């Protein structure tokens, strides 16, 4: 199948988001759609997916004008869409989610649950996913959810699959399996549109690329002809820094220590401590329990046993409010479910955590919050119109920056960042790394949870690698490498790692 989009224009109010874009996507190729946060990638794909209507322009499928007025028409035209934000029904089991909107029926007209379950199991086997399809989606971690979304789209027999940042929550080995599937689909002449800010991935898997900047197509070509640095430059308009970051710092006293912390079945016997001015990475694969661990430390979840010390003092009856008052900030992963409050505007989403601190007699100090937000907006380069616009009017990466702004505004002593650069573009990623290192210089302890080994290696002084709920090992400084992290994350031993050296 061949899709041609010609002279597509789209505005939201006065905000001209797409300025006459023309693209052609062929069957049997993987097409990378690149661009900074807010460049218009998702908007363009939403038009192809029938979610938004173009103001001007035409879409042709196999030479015929296509009418894509709603998502159903788009699906019927053979287009499957993996959205940037998760779109699963939490109260249904995995296998029913896999068939949402195209449920198979038995002869008597009821849902064919057997068939759904069976086909889901087959799919998971092919993808090498250890997950019981009968589980409720609501009980799953975001990386499982993302995997489910990908499998779901791949099962639809679509001729074109749009993948809007499908790998933001995944770790390398899962990404590997997704790539295998993509290659298989490609060989079956399926066209794939792949949006990602991870340029290495693009370089590895994609055939052609297009770069959008401020709603204009600025570059298009064949992926083998360019380097990742080239792509980065096309996106942001200048060279993106690649040199290593300076990390010389004096560490202060210990601010966080946990002893034998356990919460069944997520993590057990966790011991570590973090000092002022330290940047500590925590990484691992799917099901390693790192998010659950830090949610418990932040007071959002219970613990079964063990102790948490902040500034040498044991914390009991922990709660998120208590944690914030003690100077802990926790930016959760999966912003849509854990951070974005849809019914509030941008400013409120960025200030909710500081309302109690900057208020008088229960009345929120709006001026303070607005001023603070304007500062952070500049530092983080958030692309937006008005602070009182809905948070949903922002692009995914810019929503992420707003959530980050919210936690930076709390002036934390311990900053825990869980997948902080989810959906953030290459240039903005470097901005965030700079902020992390600057905070560390100011004696703040920063803990970075990430599934990207490269991110951990780039900003952290040392890294804890988790495997199935325990800390499998700690890597310090130069010991951190893709190889050593992967080894520990898959259950390898630190000793053999060291003896190899």
Judged by the rule CB under 8 A, the positions of this chain that interact with other proteins are 295, 298, 300, 319-321, 323-324, 330, 332, 337-344, 348, 352-353, 355-356, 359, 362-364, 366, 390, 406
Count Cβ neighbours within 10 Å for each residue of 380-403 and write b for 16 or more, e otherwise.
Answer: bebbbeebebebebbbbbbbbbbb
Q: CA end-to-end span of the chain, whole Å?
A: 51
396 binds Mg ion per the rule CB under 5 A:
yes
Structure tokens that stand for 368 in this block: 């303070």
Look-up: residue for tokens 């799917």?
Answer: 286
The per-residue DSSP string of 263-285 comes to: ETTTEEEEEEEEETT-EEEEEE-
The residue among 257, 262, 274 whose CA lies nearest residue 314 is 257
User: What is the nearest approach in angstroms of ligand ATP to the Cβ of residue 210?
Assistant: 12
196 binds Mg ion (CB under 5 A): no
Residue 394 touches ligand ATP, criterion: CB under 6 A: yes
Query: Do 201 and 212 touch, CB atoms closer than 8 A?
Result: no
Smallest gap, in angstroms, from Cβ of residue 85 to Mg ion? 9
Comparing C-alpha atoms, which of 249, 318, 306, 324 is closest to residue 280?
A: 249
Q: Pick one of 46, 75, 84, 143: the residue that binds Mg ion (CB under 5 A).
A: 84
CB 177 within 8 A of CB 208: no
Check: CB of residue 293 under 8 Å from CB of residue 262: no
Which residue in 373, 382, 333 sits closest to 352, CA to CA?
373
Subset of 311-370 contacting ligand ATP (CB under 6 A)? none
Q: What whole-number distance in Å separates Cα of residue 174 and Cα of residue 182?
A: 12
Of the candidate residues 3, 32, 42, 96, the single one contacting ligand ATP (CB under 6 A): 42
Site for ligand ATP in 422-451 (CB under 6 A): 423, 425
Stretch touching ligand ATP by CB under 6 A, among 31-39, 145-153, 174-182, 483-491: 31-39
From the list Mg ion, other proteins, ligand ATP, none, which binds 275 (C-beta under 5 to 8 Å, kind-based)?
Answer: none
DSSP-derived pairing of the beta strands 462-467 and 279-284: parallel
Interacting partner of 35 out of Mg ion, other proteins, ligand ATP, none (Cβ under 5 to 8 A depending on kind): ligand ATP
Least distance in angstroms from the C-beta of 220 to ligand ATP: 16
Show contacts with ligand ATP in window 68-97 (CB under 6 A).
84
- The interface region with ligand ATP, picked from 11-19, 124-132, 430-438, 478-486 by CB under 6 A, is 11-19
Got the DSSP string for 149-180?
A: HHHHHHTTT-SEEEEESTTTT--HHHHHHHHH
Of 323 and 382, the one with the shorter C-beta distance to other proteins is: 323
CA–CA dist 18, 170 (Å, integer):
30
Pick one of 334, 398, 463, 487: the residue that binds ligand ATP (CB under 6 A).
398
Task: Give the nearest distance from C-beta 164 to ligand ATP in angstroms.
Answer: 7
Binding status of residue 334 toward Mg ion by CB under 5 A = no
Q: In whole angstroms, give the CA distance from residue 286 to residue 467.
A: 9
**Distance of alpha carbon 295 from alpha carbon 200, whole angstroms:** 30
Residue nearest to ligand ATP (CB): 397
43 near Mg ion (CB under 5 A)? no
38 binds, among Mg ion, other proteins, ligand ATP, none (CB under 5 to 8 A by kind): ligand ATP
Nearer to Mg ion by Cβ, of 12 and 157: the residue is 12
Which residue from 332, 289, 258, 303 is spatially nearest to 489, judged by alpha carbons? Answer: 289
Q: Pick the closest to residue 223 from 408, 42, 29 (CA basis).
A: 29
* Residue 381 in the binding site for ligand ATP (CB under 6 A): no
User: Do residues 49 and 225 make contact, with C-beta atoms less than 8 angstroms apart?
Assistant: no
Find the shortest distance in angstroms from Cβ 423 to Mg ion: 7
Q: How far, rounded to the nearest angstrom, does the alpha carbon of residue 497 sit from its chain's CA centroid?
A: 30
Distance in Å, CB of 412 to ligand ATP, minimum: 25
Regarding 12 and contact with ligand ATP (CB under 6 A), the answer is yes
Cis amide bond preceding 265, omega within 30: yes
**How many residues of this chain interact with ligand ATP, rule: CB under 6 A?**
21
Stretch that binds Mg ion, among 28-36, 79-87, 117-125, 350-358 (CB under 5 A): 79-87
Q: How far is the CB of 112 from other proteins (least distance, A)?
A: 31
Examine residue 40 and tell whether it contacts ligand ATP (CB under 6 A).
yes
Of the candidate residues 166, 387, 397, 473, the single one contacting ligand ATP (CB under 6 A): 397
Q: Which of 5, 17, 66, 258 binds ligand ATP (CB under 6 A)?
A: 17
Residues 197, 199: Cα–Cα separation, whole Å:
6
- Alpha-helical (H) ranges within 77-157 are 94-97, 113-127, 142-154
Of 37-45, 75-83, 166-174, 212-220: span binding Mg ion (CB under 5 A):
37-45
| CB contact at 8 A, 439 and 252 | no
What whole-number distance in Å separates Cα of residue 7 and Cα of residue 21?
5
**By CB under 5 A, which span of 44-52, 66-74, 263-271, 393-401 interacts with Mg ion?**
393-401
User: What whole-number distance in Å separates Cα of residue 392 and Cα of residue 351?
Assistant: 16
Chain residues that interact with Mg ion, rule: CB under 5 A: 42, 84, 395-396
Chain residues that interact with ligand ATP, rule: CB under 6 A: 12, 15, 17, 35, 37-43, 84, 383, 393-398, 423, 425
């Amino acid at each position: 199948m061949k899709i041609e989009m010609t002279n597509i224009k789209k505005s939201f109010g006065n905000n001209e988001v797409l300025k006459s874009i023309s693209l052609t996507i062929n069957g049997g190729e993987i097409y990378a759609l690149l661009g900074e946060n807010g460049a218009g990638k998702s908007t363009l794909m939403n038009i192809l997916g029938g979610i938004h209507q173009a103001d001007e322009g035409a879409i042709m499928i196999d030479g015929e004008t296509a009418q894509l007025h709603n998502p159903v028409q788009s699906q019927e035209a053979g287009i499957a869409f993996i959205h940037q934000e998760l779109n699963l029904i939490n109260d249904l089991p995995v296998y029913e989610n896999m068939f949402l909107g195209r449920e198979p029926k038995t002869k008597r007209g009821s849902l064919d649950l057997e068939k759904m379950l069976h086909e889901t199991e087959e799919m998971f086997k092919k993808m090498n996913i250890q997950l019981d399809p009968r589980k409720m989606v609501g009980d799953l971690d975001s990386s499982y959810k993302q995997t489910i979304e990908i499998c779901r789209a791949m099962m639809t027999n679509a001729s074109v699959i749009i993948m809007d940042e499908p790998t933001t929550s995944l770790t390398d080995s899962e990404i590997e399996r997704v790539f295998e599937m993509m290659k298989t689909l490609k060989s079956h002449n399926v066209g794939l549109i792949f949006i990602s800010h991870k340029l290495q991935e693009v370089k590895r898997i994609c055939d052609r690329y297009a770069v959008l900047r401020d709603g204009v197509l600025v570059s298009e070509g064949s992926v083998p002809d360019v380097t990742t640095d080239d792509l980065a430059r096309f996106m942001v308009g200048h060279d993106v820094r690649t040199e290593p970051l300076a990390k010389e710092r004096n560490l202060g006293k210990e601010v966080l220590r946990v002893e034998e912390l356990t919460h069944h079945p997520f993590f057990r016997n966790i011991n570590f401590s973090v000092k002022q001015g330290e940047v500590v990475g925590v990484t691992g694969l799917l099901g390693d329990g790192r998010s659950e661990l830090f949610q418990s430390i932040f007071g959002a979840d219970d613990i079964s046993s063990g102790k948490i010390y902040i500034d040498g003092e044991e914390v009991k009856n922990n709660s998120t409010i208590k944690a914030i008052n003690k100077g802990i900030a926790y930016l959760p992963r999966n912003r849509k479910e854990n951070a974005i409050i849809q019914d509030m505007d941008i400013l409120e989403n960025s200030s909710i955590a500081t309302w109690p601190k900057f208020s008088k007699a229960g009345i929120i100090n709006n001026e303070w919050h607005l001023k603070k937000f304007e500062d952070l907006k500049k530092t983080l380069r958030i692309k937006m119109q008005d602070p009182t616009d809905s948070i949903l009017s922002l692009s995914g990466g810019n929503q992420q920056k707003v959530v980050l702004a919210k936690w930076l505004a709390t002036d934390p002593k311990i900053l825990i960042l869980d997948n902080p650069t989810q959906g953030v573009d290459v240039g903005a990623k470097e901005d965030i790394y700079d902020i992390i290192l600057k905070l560390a210089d100011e004696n703040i302890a920063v803990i970075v949870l990430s599934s990207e080994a490269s991110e951990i290696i780039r900003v952290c002084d040392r890294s804890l690698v988790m495997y199935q709920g325990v800390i499998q090992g700690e890597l310090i400084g130069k010991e951190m490498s893709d190889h050593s992290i992967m080894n520990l994350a898959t259950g390898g031993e630190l000793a053999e790692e060291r003896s190899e050296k």
